[in-house]
């Protein structure tokens, strides 16, 4: 529910409305505090809402995320600003922070939009859909995705040609090109950083051929192909639309790799690759799926069993880091690697390759704070000032951090970290009441 901005002061500002931010906001709101939950994207739900199924239980991601998202959007103590960014956060005293919030206009009055999609049909402009990670296109007037919250249209003004077709098509007249950027000054008592992570861009490893060879995609893109709200009716390779039957996963793309500036392990890629492999075996029973790995990190509750389950299903696990990928005329790919078990260099042919890209920090979070220094750790994630005994505390008192903003984490860990961050924030609010 987007509240009209009468009240410009809140108890807590939560930056980022993914699952960590959402969970923290709910905890604070259920305790009675007024929360402003902010996200730069058009919808709440972060990365989790775009996933297909989650490991190791194979619950459908949407089934778990949407009820939480629903609870957040209905909660009387939570105000949600999507398409918004925050900056210039100044700490005035122990229980007062002032922040500048910039709300980008959607050019649509959300409260009147019924998500009927008539504007989408009318719009003549086609651009790559960032919510489907570039697999298909979308219009410049569009609903972000079917389970978005708020489920309302947005006009991508950068690509809009101002033809007015959407305005004419809209049955409730909620499209309004006169809407402007709003800048607000907000006063809050505590700040919670839940800004999430970025995925490594495999264009930074040219020898893998991503972007050059059409049948190489990222795991995030495959996630969309597997999701129930998928862009295509089947699993296919983008080069020619063929249904693949010899699929390869390349692990540690951009992780454990000092040569691209990321020496750490991204923690989730082994598991999400094994998960996708299982889903592929289910969707394409005749297909062969091979995972090329260095070490399989299946360390959490139920993870090792999930890994053994994948082996049992017939997923091939080959120990060997892929050195180079080249393309054949038919669009198939040749993967070159040192096969550790065989002890020699091999070349394997696959018709589709999925790169399991790593987790990188979201940049610029320290720049959000003006008069106090938010320390980052050596990997540029948000620094934790008391990492073992109070993992949610940052270098600024009254500012807490949750989820993958601190480093790679899977969903259960992010949720627990959000529980801890909200607990610390609540303690802080009580102490400085």
Partner 1 sequence: MKKKKIGVYICHCGGNISDYVDVEKVRRAVEDEDIVFLAKTTMFACSDSNQREMVEDIKTNDLDGVVVASCSPKLHLLTFRNVSLRADLNKYTYVHANIREQASWAHSDNKIGATEKAIHLVKAAIAKSRYADALETNKVKAIKSVAVIGAGVAGMKAAISLSDKECDVILIEKESFVGGRVAQWDSLSTTTETGKEIVSRLYNDLIKRENITILTNSEVVENKGSVGNISLKIKKVPRYIGGSCHPEDLKRAIEVCPVEVPDEFNFRLTARKAIYKNYPSEYPQTPVIDIKNCTRCGACEKVCPAINFSEKDEILEFSVGSVLMATGFDSYTPTYGEFGYATSDNVITLPQFKRLIDTQHDKLVYKGKEIKNIAYIYCVGSRQTDGENTYCSRNCCTSTIHAALTAKNKFSDINNYHFNRGLRTYGKQEILYADSLRSGDIYLQSYEDGLPTVTVEGKKTIVKINDILSNGREIEVEADLVVLVTGMVPRADNTIGSLFKIPKGRDKFYNEVHMKLRPVETVIDGITIAGTCQGPKNIAESVNSALSAATKSYSILSKGELETDPLVATIDPEKCTWCGACEAACPFDSILKVEKDGKTIAEINNTVCKGCGMCAPVCEPDAINLIACSSAEIMSMIDALV
- The residue (of 202 and 383) whose beta carbon lies closer to partner 1 is 383
Interface map 386-415 toward partner 1 (x if CB under 8 A): -xxxxxx--------------xxx-xxx-x
Helices (H), 55-140: 61-74, 118-122
Out of 59, 94, 182, 349, the only residue in the binding site for partner 1 (CB under 8 A) is 59
Cβ neighbors of 425 (< 8 A, separation 6 or more) are: 12, 24, 28, 190, 192, 392, 400
Q: What is the dihedral of CA 270, 199, 421, 395, to 10 degrees?
A: 120
# of chain residues touching partner 1 (CB under 8 A): 80
> Of residues 313-342, which lie at the interface with partner 1 (CB under 8 A)?
319, 340-342
375 binds partner 1 (CB under 8 A): no
Q: How far is the CB of 421 from partner 1 (least distance, A)?
A: 8
3-state helix, strand, coil in the chain (%, to 5): 25, 30, 45
Choose the stretch contacting partner 1; rule: CB under 8 A; options: 57-65, 96-104, 170-178, 208-216: 57-65
In the complex with partner 1, which residue's Cβ is closer, 245 or 305?
A: 305
Q: Kindly tell me which of 247 and 418 has the beta carbon lying closer to partner 1.
A: 418
From residue 148 to residue 177, what is the string marking binding to partner 1 with x (rule CB under 8 A)? -x-x--------------------------
In whole angstroms, the minimum distance from the beta carbon of 51 to partner 1 comes to 10
Site string for partner 1, 271-310 (x = CB under 8 A): -----------x------------xxxxxxxxxxx--x--
Cis before residue 428, ω within 30 degrees of 0? Answer: no
Taking the complex as a whole, how short is the minimal distance between the CB of residue 248 and partner 1, in angstroms?
A: 20
- Least Å distance, CB 388 to partner 1, is 5
Task: Return the residues of window 109-128 that contact partner 1 according to CB under 8 A.
Answer: 115
- Judged by CB under 8 A, the chain residues 238 through 267 that form the site for partner 1 are 256, 263-267
CA distance 331 to 352: 9
What lies within 8 Å, CB to CB, of 330 at 6+ separation is: none
* Apex 133 CA angle, 132 and 136, nearest 5: 55
Other C-beta atoms lying within 10 Å of the C-beta of residue 296: 19
Binding track, positions 4-43, relative to partner 1; x by CB under 8 A: -----------------------x--xx------------
CA 106 to chain centre: 21
What phi and psi values does residue 150 have, to the nearest 5 degrees? -70, 145
Closest CA to 123 of 158, 83, 169: 169
CA-nearest of 422, 370, 431 to 24 is: 422
Helix (H) or strand (E) holding 22: helix 19-30
Span 183-222, contacts to partner 1 by CB under 8 A:
none
Give which of 413, 371, 412, 372 is closest to 391, Cα–Cα: 413
Binder of partner 1 out of 15, 69, 186, 253 (CB under 8 A)? 69
């Amino acid at each position: 529910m987007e509240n009209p901005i009468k009240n410009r002061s809140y108890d807590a500002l939560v930056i980022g409305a993914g699952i960590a931010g959402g969970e923290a906001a709910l905890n604070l709101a259920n305790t009675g505090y007024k929360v402003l939950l902010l996200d730069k994207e058009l919808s709440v739900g972060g990365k989790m809402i775009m996933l297909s199924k989650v490991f190791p239980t194979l619950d459908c991601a949407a089934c778990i995320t949407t009820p939480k998202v629903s609870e957040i959007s209905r909660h009387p103590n939570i105000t949600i600003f999507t398409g918004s960014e925050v900056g210039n956060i100044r700490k005035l005293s122990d229980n007062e922070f002032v922040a500048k919030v910039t709300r980008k206009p959607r050019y649509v009055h959300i409260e009147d939009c019924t998500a009927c999609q008539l504007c989408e049909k009318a719009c003549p402009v086609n651009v790559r859909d960032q919510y489907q990670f570039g697999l298909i296109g979308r219009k410049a007037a569009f609903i972000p995705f079917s389970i978005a919250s708020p489920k309302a249209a947005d006009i991508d003004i950068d690509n809009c040609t101002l033809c007015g077709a959407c305005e004419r098509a809209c049955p409730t007249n909620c499209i309004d090109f006169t809407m402007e950027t709003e800048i607000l000054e907000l006063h809050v008592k505590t700040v919670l950083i839940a800004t999430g992570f970025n995925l490594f861009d495999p264009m930074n490893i040219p020898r893998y051929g991503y972007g050059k060879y059409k049948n190489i995609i990222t795991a995030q893109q495959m996630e969309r192909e597997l999701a129930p709200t998928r862009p295509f009716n089947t699993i296919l390779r983008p080069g020619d639309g063929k249904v693949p039957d010899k699929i390869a996963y390349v692990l540690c793309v951009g992780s454990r790799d000092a040569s691209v500036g990321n020496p750490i392990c991204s923690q989730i890629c082994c598991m999400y690759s094994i998960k996708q492999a299982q889903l592929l075996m289910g969707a394409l029973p005749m297909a062969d799926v091979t995972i090329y790995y260095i070490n399989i990190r299946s360390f959490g509750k139920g993870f090792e069993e999930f890994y053994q389950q994948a082996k049992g299903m017939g997923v091939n696990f080959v120990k060997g880091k892929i050195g180079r990928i080249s393309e054949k005329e038919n669009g198939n790919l040749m993967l070159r690697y040192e096969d550790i078990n065989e002890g020699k260099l091999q070349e394997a042919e696959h018709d589709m390759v999925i790169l399991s890209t790593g987790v990188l920090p979201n940049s610029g979070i320290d720049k959000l704070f003006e008069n106090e220094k938010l320390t980052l750790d050596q990997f540029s994630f948000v620094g934790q000032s008391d990492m073992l005994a109070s993992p949610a505390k940052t270098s600024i008192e009254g500012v807490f951090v949750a989820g993958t903003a601190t480093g790679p984490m899977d969903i259960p860990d992010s949720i627990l970290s959000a529980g801890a961050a909200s607990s610390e924030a609540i303690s802080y609010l009580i102490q400085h009441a």
